[in-house]
Structure 1
Amino acid sequence: MTQQWSTPGWALPVALALGVLLLAALVATGLALRGVRRSAARAEAEARTATVQLRERLEVLERRVVALDAPARARAAEEEFVITHLGADDAVDETTARADGTSPAARPDAPLFADLVLRESVVQAASLAAGVRRALGPEVRHRVRLEMRREVKRARKQRRTDQREARRAAQARQRAGLDLSREPAA
């Protein structure tokens, strides 16, 4: 008793070739993934060492600031602070007064100024990113698309109207020119 195969003769070699290609693709993907993992691990290790170094520098700077700021804190504890000079006769010192009668604004220290600038920059960048994200959202794109379609339709309609008016005016001028040439000269 002989068996008859219902599949064509080329099906088995094609299936084997596809299996080999699939296996090769899996091996290549695995190797690529291993390389990506290694580079990610290296980058993570570098980031951790940089973080440790930055923390150490920050601690050193904090110790310096505390050491420099200690005498000022002691003086500040002894002094009495006045929030406003409202009603006081010597509210504006003549040496710091300006010509228009106002006193100059107090200037913040360099670290405080840098902190303020950095915070404001971060807030502006975040608001810009939020605005861009909102502007590129599907609802806004859809609304812009609809408005553009309306504007294109309006412009086409206006062009057709202008063409009709120009055609009518040209025909009226032509008729007027013909009518003048038909009248006898007096």
Structure 2
Amino acid sequence: MTQQWTLPAWAVLLPVVVGLALLVAVLLLAVRVGRTGRRATATAAEVGALRDVVAVLEQQQRAPTVPPTTPSDYVITRVGDDPPEVEERAPASVSRPPADRPVVAAPLFADLVLRESVVQAASLAAGVRRALAPEVRHRVRLEMKRDVKRARKQRRTDLRAARRDWEARRRAEVASEDPGLDEGSAA
């Protein structure tokens, strides 16, 4: 004795669709993690370059200053002067060995990425909840009714104007085709 099973199509497709959605979500999360990791590496390089700049500026500040002797020493801006040596040293900081660069631990990095995702999901859910609130739906429904009434009224007005114009043209055509008709009807 054989038994036949009948299963609705949605019961078969639902797990497949959910599985695909989860796969896409995991892939998107992996791409995002990779991008954030590259950004963190680039940021670490920028931080190192800025530390070098700060060190140079601190050295310049600690250097003894010579009192100005000529009026040209009172220049406020450095426009037209040679660029400071800080800009020359910035590319050298990029080629530092990886051991000197700060590294964010993997658990901390994952925690930061997940927190950001949770915050974005929560804000989306709050927005959807607010958009689907009964008072918002009621307000939208009222605005739609008003707009439909206004459109109907405008169409009726346009139709009346078009009908008047059409009738006026028809009368003008009839009058231009048979000028004797007006004289005969008047007599």
| Fold match (TM-score > 0.5) | no
Greater RCO (Cα-Cα under 8 Å, separation 6 or more): 2
Of Structure 1 and Structure 2, the greater helix share is in 2
Bigger Rg, which one: 1
TM-score by length of structure 2 reads: 0.43
